């Protein structure tokens, strides 16, 4: 038994191999980062860093914003399908919302490693602690939309603080 992987995932008891072989689950689990036994949300956020670096390298502001919109709106469907497949509403290994969250957190922020690290930390704090209104939304909005919404709001708050700080 691995110290990093669980024996199975969700109420459907899916194996890691199944998750990695089904395209929607592969995306929902952040290309495998959500399979982590420990801190899958944080590991999923780390998985967003190379995506962020690729997007800022090859897309302008408009393209980056369009990518965020596609990732976020597509995430509603991806997260809902994954939750249905796992038979768990907001399973911790579903980290597509964390990927979208970090990208939103860093939108419009000039690149620096300090800004990236600060954005990462701010987003994780808001996502983990879930202060109001994030906690309210997390408890009252269901489905794929609910899975995505609390992270989007956490990211918007983190983005605001990051912009004020910079």
Is 75 contained in some domain?
A: yes
Is 10 contained in some domain?
A: no
**Residue 125 phi/psi, 5° resolution?**
-60, -50
Task: Count CB-CB contacts under 10 A for residue 159.
Answer: 20
**Residue 71 phi/psi, 5° resolution?**
-65, -40
Q: How far is it, in rounded angstroms, from Cα 166 to Cα 147? A: 29
DSSP states of 122-162: HHHHHHHH--TTHHHHHHH--HHHHHHHHHHHHHHHHHHHH
Beta strands in the chain (DSSP E): none
The set of residues, in sequence order, having a beta carbon less than 8 Å from that of 39 and lying 6+ positions away, is none
**Residue 116 phi/psi, 5° resolution?**
-60, -45
Is 2 contained in some domain?
A: no
Is 148 contained in some domain?
A: yes
Is 133 contained in some domain?
A: yes
Residues 102-142 pLDDT 10s: 999 999 999 999 999 999 999 999 999 999 999 999 999 99
Is 3 contained in some domain?
A: no
Residues 72-108 pLDDT 10s: 999 999 999 999 999 998 899 999 999 999 999 999 9
Q: Helix (H, G, I), strand (E, B), or coil: what is residue 5?
A: strand
Residues 33-61 pLDDT 10s: 999 989 999 999 999 999 999 999 999 99
Residue 94 belongs to what domain range?
16-165
**pTM score, whole prediction:** 0.94
Is 5 contained in some domain?
A: no
Domain count, the chain: 1
Q: How far is it, in rounded angstroms, from Cα 72 to Cα 65? A: 10
Is 39 contained in some domain?
A: yes
């Amino acid at each position: 038994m691995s110290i990093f992987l669980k024996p199975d995932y969700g109420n459907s008891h899916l194996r890691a191999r199944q998750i990695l072989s089904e395209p929607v689950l592969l995306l929902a689990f952040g290309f495998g980062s959500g399979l982590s036994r420990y801190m899958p949300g944080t590991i999923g956020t780390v998985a967003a860093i190379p995506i962020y670096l690729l997007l800022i390298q090859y897309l302008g502001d408009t393209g980056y914003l369009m990518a965020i919109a596609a990732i976020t709106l597509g995430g509603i469907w991806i997260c809902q399908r994954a939750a249905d497949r796992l038979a768990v509403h907001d399973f911790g290994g579903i980290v597509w919302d964390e990927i979208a969250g970090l990208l939103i957190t860093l939108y419009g922020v000039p690149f620096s490693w300090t800004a990236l690290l600060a954005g990462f930390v701010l987003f994780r704090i808001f996502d983990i602690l879930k202060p109001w209104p994030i906690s309210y939304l997390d408890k009252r909005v269901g489905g794929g939309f609910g899975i995505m919404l609390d992270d989007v709001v956490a990211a918007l708050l983190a983005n605001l603080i990051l912009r004020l700080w910079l």
